[in-house]
Amino acid sequence: MPTKRLTVLSVLAVAALSSGSIFAQTSMVASQGAVGTITAPHLLSQFPILAPAPMLAQSVLPTQLTAQAPAAAQASAIEGTPTLHMAGESAPLADVSDVGDDGDDSAINNSADLHKTLIGLAMKLRDIRYVRGGRDPSTGFDCSGFVRYVFAHAIGLELPSNSASQFLAGLKVNRAEMQPGDLVFFRTAGRRGKGRISHVGIYIDHGQFIHSPSRGKAVRVDNLDESYWAKRFAGAKRPGGMAVAQRG
């Protein structure tokens, strides 16, 4: 009987001590909560499922994803904004495939205008009679006088006074590359085109040229493929001033 009483008393003592300890811990938590900090009971920390914070803290993203995330966020933040280049850093080249060349267009237009002006004036002088040594519409033209007059009055270019000199002053042009306004030369003084340069005309296009042929005739248009002219054709030349104007 005394032993049972002692056992009961021991149990009651242990229970009292335990309840006192729990009460003291609860009181400390309450007092700390008033200050602003609450500490989780020690028992919870022993069960990971009831304390997830340490587990989450230990969970980290792979290194590659962690490095890419800031870069992606930065790219997303600056998308659509122009790129700034520091001093000394080369900027990307602009696409110039669609940019037109105004200089080339201007040269083409100038060349076309020269051709049109030359041929236009030459055609207006058709039917003016041939006169040996003639230099003016009022008196008539010979071949070199006709060519010299057209160039001087159409584009202000002074040519030599005779066909042989005009031939030497020009730049050689292949027949397949002739353009309106080029000069075409013939050897009419000798037999079957074997003589010196003695005749000149102005090339129009498609094998046609305009000239002042010979005594008893007038300024007219002929074709290089005609038998007489084909046999005596000596070549084509482009006056130096015309070549410079076309390049400019």
**How is residue 138 annotated by DSSP?**
T
Asked if 85 is an active-site residue, the reply is no
For residues 113 and 217, membership in a common domain is answered with: yes
Both tokens of 234, joined, read 């000596």
Catalytic position from the list 42, 85, 153, 199: 199
Q: Give the number of domains in the chain.
A: 2
For residues 241 and 156, membership in a common domain is answered with: yes
Catalytic position from the list 115, 153, 206, 211: 211
Q: Considering the domain boundaries, does residue 55 fall inside one?
A: no
For residues 143 and 235, membership in a common domain is answered with: yes
Over residues 162-182, the pLDDT tens digits come to 999 999 998 999 999 999 999
Contact 222, 208 (CB under 8 A): yes
Spatial separation of the C-alpha atoms in residues 50 and 43, rounded to whole Å: 10
The pTM assigned to this predicted structure is 0.57
Q: Considering the domain boundaries, does residue 181 fall inside one?
A: yes
Q: Considering the domain boundaries, does residue 73 fall inside one?
A: no
Tokens 């304390």 -> residue: 51
**How is residue 139 annotated by DSSP?**
T
Contact 101, 108 (CB under 8 A): no
For residues 30 and 114, membership in a common domain is answered with: no
Asked if 199 is an active-site residue, the reply is yes
Give percent above pLDDT 70 in the chain: 53
Spatial separation of the C-alpha atoms in residues 119 and 110, rounded to whole Å: 14
Predicted confidence band of residue 24 (pLDDT cuts 50, 70, 90): very low
| pLDDT score of 190 | 73
Asked if 115 is an active-site residue, the reply is no
For residues 114 and 211, membership in a common domain is answered with: yes
Domain of residue 13: give its range: 1-46
